[in-house]
Structure 1
Amino acid sequence: MPHAVPPIHAVLFDFARTLFRLIDPVEMIRDIATEHGHPEIAADAEELARVLGDAHLHPEVVRLWELGDLSEAGHLAYRTGWIARVAKLGPILDPLAAAMANPARWPPYADTAEVLAGIAERGIPIAVVSNIGWDIRAAFARHGLDRHVDVWTLSYEVGAMKPSPAIFKHALRELGVAGRNALMVGDTPGADGGATAVGCRVLLLPGAEGVVSWLAPSEEVRGLGAVLHLLDAANRR
């Protein structure tokens, strides 16, 4: 006789590249350069975005990235240290670093709103569990999506980062749900997959093939509808 699948009483979501994405870096560089009176940078935006992507792999930038999600100051140091690796971006370093943490530069995927609303309609609470060094609540609020989130577990606020069990335990504690009754949804095996250590099931979305991980997959629809199917199957809806 088959064993019963534990019902899912809560869903935990990653933020970047799962529910929201950073806008195209070419567009962002071009916009910032134009706004600050640097047409020569705007003209080279495509090449500079490529060089910036390569710079993200520099060991010093990786070190800053690994530390950046534990404080707002650390995240700013990571962003500025990364951009500083590309000398031609020097004239717009500060506004570009600010833009990377600007909620207006982080649109949700086309299926984010529908899926968050669908989960809420099923009476299932939602937590956002993110390795992040700035307050992402405003990005949700811009699109009226903050009303669907019951718990915010942000690494720089709780002092723990995925894949540490501590950050998942914090979210589960706030939700009042056992790990076996929660689903973690993200895009990074090494980080989001850590939820299995506290008993959660994990749904991993595909990454952006062939590009460094700070870039988001370019498709408009992320495939989040699978979450609703998993909920209905587990809860026998």
Structure 2
Amino acid sequence: MPHAVLPIHAVLFDFARTLFRLTAPVEMIRDIATQHGYPEIAADAEELARVLGDAHLHPEVIRLWELGDLSEAGHLAYRTGWIARVAELGPILDPLAAAMADPARWPPYADTAEVLAGVAERGIPIAVVSNIGWDVRAAFARHGLDRTIDVWTLSYEVGALKPNPEIFKHALRKLGVNGRHALMVGDTPGADGGATAVGCRVLLLPGAEDVVSWLAPSEEVRGLGAVLHLLDAANRR
């Protein structure tokens, strides 16, 4: 006899490459180089974006990345340390590092607003649970999406990183929901999949573990509609 499906009383969403995406690096490099008067950098933006992606494989950059989501200062050190590996980007290092954490450079996917609204309309609270070293609330606010979020659990504020169970426990405590009645939605198995340790069900969107792939040009529609189908099935709507 099949087991009963437990209802879902809360949804936890990842931020990057789940609800929002970073503007393609080639666009950022071209825009910033042009704005600051470096046409030669703008002309080589495509190649420099490729080299920047490769630079993320350097052991020192990986070390900075692993620490970067625990503080704003650490995240800035990570971004600047990474860009510094590409000497040709030196003239625009500071504005490019700033752009990577600029809410204006983080648009939502085309289906983000509809799905967040759909979850909220079903009376289900939402938490954002993200490994991040800067305040993403402003990215949501730019598009009027902050009003759909009930709980913000950002690693640099709570001092824990996914897949550490503590970051998920923090969100669940704030939501007042048992993990067995929550759904975690993300794109990284090694991080978002950690929610299973506290009893959550997990929906993994197509994605990648490494930043090189994460920085590739991203699709406009993320496929978030699956969240609403899961909610309706679990809650027998």
TM (norm. structure 1) is 0.98
Q: In 2, Cα distance between the equivalents of 1:218 and 1:128?
A: 20
Task: Tell me by how many angstroms 1:57 deviates.
Answer: 1.0
Q: In 2, Cα distance between the equivalents of 1:211 and 1:78?
A: 13
Q: Does the 8 Å CA contact 2:188/2:209 hold for their aligned counterparts?
A: no
* Structure-2 change in CA distance of 1:210 and 1:197 (3 Å): closer
Consecutive aligned runs of 4 or more in structure 1 exceeding 2 Å deviation:
208-211
Q: Which residue of 1 aligns with 2:3?
A: 3
Q: In 2, Cα distance between the equivalents of 1:154 and 1:211?
A: 19
SS at match of 2:32: helix
Task: Tell me by how many angstroms 1:217 deviates.
Answer: 5.8
* Structure-2 change in CA distance of 1:210 and 1:73 (3 Å): closer
SS at match of 2:163: coil
* Structure-2 change in CA distance of 1:151 and 1:114 (3 Å): same
Task: Tell me by how many angstroms 1:219 deviates.
Answer: 1.0
Task: Tell me by how many angstroms 1:218 deviates.
Answer: 1.5
> Quick check: 1:169 aligned with 2:169?
yes
SS at match of 2:203: strand
What percentage of aligned pairs have identical amino acids?
92
Task: Tell me by how many angstroms 1:99 deviates.
Answer: 0.3
Q: In 2, Cα distance between the equivalents of 1:217 and 1:145?
A: 23
SS at match of 1:212: helix
How many pairs are equivalent? 237
Q: Does the 8 Å CA contact 2:106/2:139 hold for their aligned counterparts?
A: yes
Moved more, 52-61 or 201-210: 201-210
Q: Does the 8 Å CA contact 2:189/2:209 hold for their aligned counterparts?
A: no
Q: In 1, Cα distance between the equivalents of 2:233 and 2:210?
A: 33
Q: Does the 8 Å CA contact 1:208/1:217 hold for their aligned counterparts?
A: no
* Structure-2 change in CA distance of 1:217 and 1:18 (3 Å): farther
* Structure-2 change in CA distance of 1:209 and 1:78 (3 Å): closer
Q: In 1, Cα distance between the equivalents of 2:207 and 2:169?
A: 25
Q: Aligned Cα RMSD in Å? A: 1.3
Q: Does the 8 Å CA contact 1:12/1:129 hold for their aligned counterparts?
A: yes
Moved more, 214-223 or 13-22: 214-223
Q: Does the 8 Å CA contact 1:208/1:215 hold for their aligned counterparts?
A: no
TM (norm. structure 2) is 0.98
Structure 2 unaligned segments of length 5 or more: list them.
none
Structure 1 unaligned segments of length 5 or more: list them.
none
SS at match of 1:213: helix
Q: Does the 8 Å CA contact 1:13/1:129 hold for their aligned counterparts?
A: yes
Task: Tell me by how many angstroms 1:2 deviates.
Answer: 2.1
Q: In 2, Cα distance between the equivalents of 1:90 and 1:50?
A: 16
- Residues 43-74 of structure 1, C-alpha deviations (whole Å, 9 max, x = no match): 00000000000001111000000000000000
* Structure-2 change in CA distance of 1:174 and 1:211 (3 Å): closer
Q: Does the 8 Å CA contact 1:208/1:216 hold for their aligned counterparts?
A: no
Task: Tell me by how many angstroms 1:214 deviates.
Answer: 3.5
